[in-house]
Each structure stands twice: as structure tokens, then as C-alpha cells.
Amino acid sequence: MGDDNISEIKGKDFLRQIINEHIKTGKYDGKVITRFPPEPNGYLHIGHAKSICINFGIAKDYPGGICHLRMDDSDPTKESYEYVNSIKQDVKWIGFDWGDKLFFASDYFEKLYEYAEFLIKKGKAYVCSLSESEIREYRGTVTEPGKPSPYRNRSVEENLDLFRRMKAGEFKDSEHVLRAKIDMSNPNMKMRDPLLYRIRHVEHYRQGNKWCIYPLYDFTHCLSDAMEGITHSICTLEFENNRELYDWILDECEIKEPRPHQYEFARLNINYTVMSKRRLLELVEKKYVSGWDDPRMPTISGLRRRGVTPEALRSFCENAGIAKANSIVDIAQLEYSIRDDLNKKVPRVLAVLRPLKIVIENYSEHHEEMLDASYYPHDVPLEGARKVPFSREIYIEKDDFMENPSKGFYRLSPGEEVRLRHAYIIKCERVIKNNAGEIIELRCSYDPTTKSGEENSEKKVKGIIHWVSIPHSQNVEVRLYDRLFNVEHPETIDDGFNEDSFKILSNCYVEPAVAKSSPGSRFQFERLGYFYLDPIPYQECRLVFNRIVTLRDSWTKISAEKPEKFEKTEKQIKPQPQEKSEFDMSELPLEVKTKLDKYLKNYDIHKEEALTIAKDETLADFYEQTLSEYNNPKGVAGIIAGEMARELKEKQPKQLAFTPKELGELVKLIDDEVISVKIAREVFSFMIKGEGKPSEIVEKRGLKQITDPSELGIVIDTVIKANPENVEAYKAGKTKLFGFFTGQVMKESGGRAKPELLNELLKKKLN
């Protein structure tokens, strides 16, 4: 394959563009060797899935490309074979194989120790005897330089002696550490004499008690890459500041070119969930979930147990794209990818989750018949048909009957008709209730001339409902899973935990074809969602189905169009997540109440934002100072109560790398439509690092919002050209795909497309 073809076919993102250039220049003699280096201290989550797809996917794209699987196991306090095995299983399930390229950082301990002594002998590392808290104190802040450790000028001989005694086990945990000798005034705090080794008298799961000193990540990772001959060390954006240290260690250890270089991409962040291993472990340990593979968890094992396919996960990761700036992906995009995948491959069947009995009085008690039914709709190119038994007694969904129907309800009600899927039209004649007034049974009649598929079955009714035959159906258990949190950005596991994220329905019924299926089978229960026959039995002789995903997004608001244009589904029946309740001002301190009252009356800002700012003196002062620089109370409140409030949980005000004036400038950029609110969050993340004023960051990183119709039109044309099948589907009536195209354009534009202009141009071009 020629260089031009490589650029044309594979230059989809900045990482592949870099690799293409290296191939052209022969930097690594045409080699492409990547690695996926997880720490075996927990189960992998969906964010790791993106990294797996990038590293293994890039290696797969290039002739002779290789991707190593390396366990970065240099912390003996948290690692185990359980996690190693789960990682291997997850990578293979997603669809990738490392062959014979499985490595462990712990196998390099001897060589890493030699490199550490080499740095000591060069005068580039020293043993420090400060405590952990003293090391933090000496490091300084983002605005103040650090000060050197009093042990920084120990002689090479003394450092070697202490380090060897550390290895021999003479000292207690944390009594000494080995540090690199770099620069305590470096603007990058990672370069202020970082730790290289620490003492841990803990048995290692692979090395046993051979070692009591362990290398830290920054020292281990780059040298492991070098020892394995990695060409492109691809990691997530939080390691951007580590790159300088990565290069320093390789340089000082005299690793010659061509050697590995680090490249960062934006990690995958998803709303309505937590993505840190620490939070996920907390969910498991505090019994919020049943384990790492709980189907609600964003872990790969949880998604697998829920019934998500590896194809859907790979598609989601591909659609999320590879960007240089952090952003948050809507979980609805994951759900869309799952639906889109399952829609093409799983059979439609009949099931009833909340049964209501119907007796068809004019259907013979002794008669049964087998009705023809297809597994797939006509527009899906898969063959499949089965016979569905029909009898006098059937179950329908309780929600498909309403005694006093509201306007737009086109299902069953007294005196009205509805079609049974694959069967006949029935009419409700009587409603049977118990002594408590609860409906327990319906008596209906059927029209024998309306059998589905026959020439004389042209009688029209507005509603079609699903059902199962009572004598032939099998009782099963269905487990309904939903999002773990009902707040978009949970900060703790108690922050908006969704108590309704797991429900068990025991009295459910499925048609015979489903009851005979093998564990691991997937189905669309018509009008209900996609379900997975759990391969792990909960009870003997009991089938358990996990809901993979609903048929449509049940968390978005119902369309404002007239209700008669929409079929009433679970989406309309399920209660929507509730907004936070009003706060009680009577319990607040007088000073806070005074500020809160001022904000609400004079500034007219959101109540929750006003309370967040009023309760924190630092935020309140910063808010007032910013307003004196740029008077937009709502815009400033949004940034301060959101991004800045989170930042101050870990920093003191004097450590902030920006001023009230610069924060006001950021809000003005939003107001002037130079950047969007979403991009403003990215700019803020760079302001935190002290990378300059907002306007400088926007200019330097090319983050200006695209407001030129011709420029945005080119981006839209690119997306439309790349998705011809979805364009045809949209034009054929699948208007929900508009959201897909919007997301793709946003991804292609790096999130810079002006939303209003995007919607306007996209509608014109699609129509």
C-alpha cells in the first residue's frame, strides 16, 4: 500500500495522521507498535473500551502493526489475578487479540531498579526522607515555586547506600522515597522532583515478597514502553502534563532514538454515571450494586452481562471519535448504538411483562390455532418465521387497557377495537373487577374475518397491541435495568443515585419460541425493548431476561406535538426523573440567606446555583469580583457554581491560575458567540493549568465556534457523504436520526459548530 493510500484510507484522526507521517519519513522503519497498559486494580469500564479500540484498532489498521497487552502492575496494595483475568476476558470479548504479546511491568522490576541506580550515579536522583505531607508542602502551588528538600544534595554514595538499604528492607513504609532531581520551580508541577520509588512492605501478587520497594507509574511506564519497543505511546489527556517527565526519564536513562513518544487523546466521559475505578469500587463495596458485573455498571463485564454486544460497543467508541479536548458524551449515544446494532440482528417476539387476562368469549374453548409470524420486519434482510399459538385466553399488557381512555389513547378500552399483533381484531365487551374494585379480567369478542395476512383482513383500526396465549406461554422473570444516576454529573455515589435503576418483574410471560431459546440469546420484545436471556441462572428451571435497552430514549421529554400522532409507549408511562426539591431557607445562616436573597432578586439566577455560591464565602467573593469586571450574573454564576466550585474542592483560592477578570472574559466569549458553552468548559480546563487568558487559549487551540455557513456546510457535507445509509433512512421517515447527524457534525467539527446554525443547515441539506 502506497503512502498516499495510507493517508487517504487511515488519516481519519490526528493519531493516524501522526503515524502516517512517521511511515512516510521512515521514523520507525515502518513499524507501528502500540500498547494497552491497564492497571490490574479493578475491572475495566467503557472508558477503557475506547482506549482498547484505539490502541488495538490502530495496530490492526497498519500492515504488520502490533498491540501489546501490558499489565501495569507496580502497586502491590491493589492488584490481583482476578483483575488480570477480567482484563484479558474483556479485551477478547470486545474483539481484539494480543497473541503472544502479553507483558507485565512487574517482570521489569530488576531492570527498572538498575535504571534507578543509573540515575543516582548520574546525580539525577536522590533519596528523600521528608514525610508525605512535607513533600506536598515543599512542592509549592501552581502560582508559587516549590522549595528544595533538605536531603536534595546528598552525595551519590549516600544515595546509593540508602537506596540499596531500602531494597534490603531496612526501613519502614514511607520512611524514605527515591526522587528525580529536576527543578523545584518548574511551572509543570510534575517536574518538581517527582517520586520514582517508594517503600511498601506488601506481598506482590506475582513477585511475592521479593521486593519491598516499588517503582511509581511515571518511572515504570515510559521505561516499559522503551523495553518493549513501543513506537506510539497513546494515553488519555490527564497524562498530558506527564509527557515532559516521560521524555525526561527516557533522556536521562539514555534511551536512544527512535524511542517511544507519548500522544494524548480525550478520555471518554459519559453523563449519568461515574467512570473512576475508585467510585466504581465504592459502588461494589457499599452494596449499591451486586458486583463489578452488575448490568447497571459501566464496566465492560457489566455491559456484557446486560446483553450489550461487542459490535455495539465498538461502534459507540468509533462514533465518539478521537479528540484532543475533553468533553462529555451523552449516554443516549451509547443507547442509540446499542439499539442500532440490535435492530439489525435480533428477532422480534411476543412477551407480556405486566399481564392482564382476556377471555375471548366467541372463540371456542376447545379450539387453538397456529398463526404465521415473522421474526423480522420487511426492511431487515434476514429470513425468519415461526408459528405463534392462539387460543381463547390470552394475556395483554395492563398498560394497553384503559377503562376511561384519555384523548389519543388508541389501544383497548370498553366498546373499542384493537388489533392483536399477527392475529385478529378484538373488541372489549365487559370489564371484570374484584371486591376491591381492581380490574382482573376483560371479556372480549373477536372478528374471525380479520385474521392477519389474509385477503379479507383489511378492516382498519388505529391500535395494534402484543399478547401471548395463556395455555402456551411460559412464566419468566424479567429484570429491568436503567441508568445508575438520575443527575447528569454525579460527584459522589450518593449524588442522585437512581433507586429505580433495578426492578424485578416475576410474573412475565413469553411465547414458546422464546422459552426454547438458549442462554445468551437476544430478542426484541415487541413494543417493550431489547432483552437478553441471562446465561447465569438465578434459580433452577427459571429463565431470567435482562433488559438491554428500551426501544427509544425514555429519559427525553415527550414531543410537544399532538398526542394523537404518537403511540403511547412505556416512554410515556414511566415517571420522569424529578428535579431537586426546593431548599428550606429557614435553616440557612443569616449571612447566607442575605446573599441568597440578593442573588435571586437582583440577579435572577438559578436557585441551585445561587445557593452553591452563597454558601461558600470564596465563591461569593469571586462572583462579586467577576461581576465588577463583566456584568452577566447568569453566565458568571453558571461557571462559578459548576466548574469553579468543583475546582476549589481540591485547591485553595490563591492556587487558582486565573483571575476574576479572566473568568469574566471567558463568559464574554460565550456571549459574543466566539465559543459555545461546551467549548467554554474545555477552555476553563486549560485556564486551570495556567495556560493563559481565555482568548489566547481559544486562538492557540483553534476553538472558535464555527459561525460561517459555508465553513460549517463543508463539515455537514462530509458527514452526509460518510453516512449514505442513514441519509436514506432519514429520508424514508426515520427522523430520529437527526440527532445522530447532529452528533456526527459536532464530532467532526471538534464541538465547534454553532448549534442553531448547525440545526438550520442540517435540516436544509437532509431535506
CA–CA separation, 261 and 258 (whole Å)? 9
CA distances from 126 to 29, 49, 139, 672 (A): 38, 38, 16, 52
Angle, CA of 153, 157 and 159, to the nearest 5°: 55
Other Cβ atoms less than 10 A from the Cβ of 217: the count is: 16
Please determine, for residue 550, whether its predicted confidence score (pLDDT) is greater than 70: yes
Please determine, for residue 585, whether its predicted confidence score (pLDDT) is greater than 60: no
Q: Check if the beta carbon of residue 431 is closer than 8 Å to that of residue 439.
A: yes
Q: Check if the beta carbon of residue 33 is closer than 8 Å to that of residue 231.
A: yes
Cell of 57: 484498532
Closest among 704, 709, 705 to 761, alpha carbons compared: 709
What integer best gives the mean pLDDT of the chain?
87
CA distances from 195 to 123, 130, 135, 214, 745 (A): 15, 12, 10, 11, 43
Q: Which of 35, 277, 306, 754 is catalytic?
A: 277
If you ran DSSP here, which 8-state letter would residue 642 be given? Answer: I
H or E element that contains 568: none
Please determine, for residue 565, whether its predicted confidence score (pLDDT) is greater than 60: no
For the chain, the distance separating the N- and C-terminal CA atoms, rounded to the nearest angstrom, is 39
Q: Check if the beta carbon of residue 556 is closer than 8 Å to that of residue 332.
A: yes
Q: Residue range 148-154: average pLDDT?
A: 97
Domains and CATH numbers, the chain: 3-107+223-320 (3.40.50.620), 116-217 (3.90.800.10), 348-556 (2.40.240.10), 585-700 (no CATH), 709-766 (1.10.10.410)
DSSP per position, 75-99? -TTT--HHHHHHHHHHHHHHT---T
* Among the ranges given (242-246, 415-419, 556-560), the one the predictor scored with the smallest mean pLDDT: 556-560
Q: How confident is the model at residue 571 (pLDDT cuts 50, 70, 90)?
A: very low
Longest dimension (CA), the chain: 101
Other Cβ atoms less than 10 A from the Cβ of 416: the count is: 18
pLDDT in tens, 304-362: 999 999 999 999 999 888 888 877 888 999 999 999 999 989 999 999 999 999 999 99
CB-based contacts of 19, cutoff 8 Å, min separation 6: 10, 32, 58, 62, 232
How confident is the model at residue 647, as a pLDDT?
65
pLDDT in tens, 2-52: 555 544 445 578 999 999 999 999 999 999 999 999 999 999 999 999 999
Q: Which of 192, 206, 267, 681 is catalytic?
A: 267
Closest among 354, 682, 368, 380 to 527, alpha carbons compared: 354
pLDDT in tens, 411-447: 999 999 999 999 999 999 999 999 999 999 999 999 9
Rg (CA), the chain: 31
Q: What pTM was estimated for this model as a whole?
A: 0.72
Closest among 79, 80, 97 to 88, alpha carbons compared: 97
Q: Which of 39, 158, 393, 629 is catalytic?
A: 39
Cell of 153: 544534595
Closest among 110, 112, 92, 93 to 102, alpha carbons compared: 92
**Is 267 among the residues known to form the active site?**
yes
Q: Please name every residue paired with 270 in a beta bridge, in sequence order, or none if there are none.
A: 329
Closest among 380, 306, 313 to 344, alpha carbons compared: 380
Q: Check if the beta carbon of residue 305 is closer than 8 Å to that of residue 546.
A: yes
**Is 39 among the residues known to form the active site?**
yes
CA distances from 331 to 215, 430, 486, 556, 677 (A): 37, 44, 12, 12, 19
Q: Check if the beta carbon of residue 494 is closer than 8 Å to that of residue 425.
A: no
